[in-house]
Structure 1
């Protein structure tokens, strides 16, 4: 039985100038050559589904969850932001795909009248 990822642990990473979405399994510190570093064990999501990405004019980023088949050790400085990966069954696509939602909840904050400046990502 494949476990479903928990939404609260999803992050967007920037590694070698490539955006990767991953589920964080855990964080830990380690001393390497007398330098303290912080790492995370993550499970990467697959590449974006090409047909859905193209048909949505590059706006719907969907991918398969790969679980333990795609574990990777990363340094935490590669984490760009916390994101949500929402499971959904798209018509004509076999299996459940997860679609990316960034800045989840900002629209609700705006409706409440509380706003803060958030710079655009480069």
Structure 2
């Protein structure tokens, strides 16, 4: 089992990583962040993406879908943003957030690594 700091470092070790965060989507607060830039404020991005998660959960509920979100991908012209709700013990209401440079990242491998990081994370 890995703690949050180790998990954030592992997220930043993924090829193309720009920034990583663990976010509480109930409050919009980032519990931990690593990376980012003057153009990517991870506190703001984490808070804003809580609305994305909440909207998707409401939509799934309205549709009667009894499934879980594996991840949400936002594709920008130069970046990928991956939101992965944490399903393990103690992770209810939290998500991993990873921003990637689209030119340097392998999206399939990033999703694979993010899944493995989530599996090891202990909150």
Structure-2-length-normalised TM-score: 0.28
Q: Which one has more relative contact order, counting CA pairs under 8 Å at least 6 apart? A: 2
Structure-1-length-normalised TM-score: 0.28
Larger proportion of helix? 2
Larger proportion of strand? 1
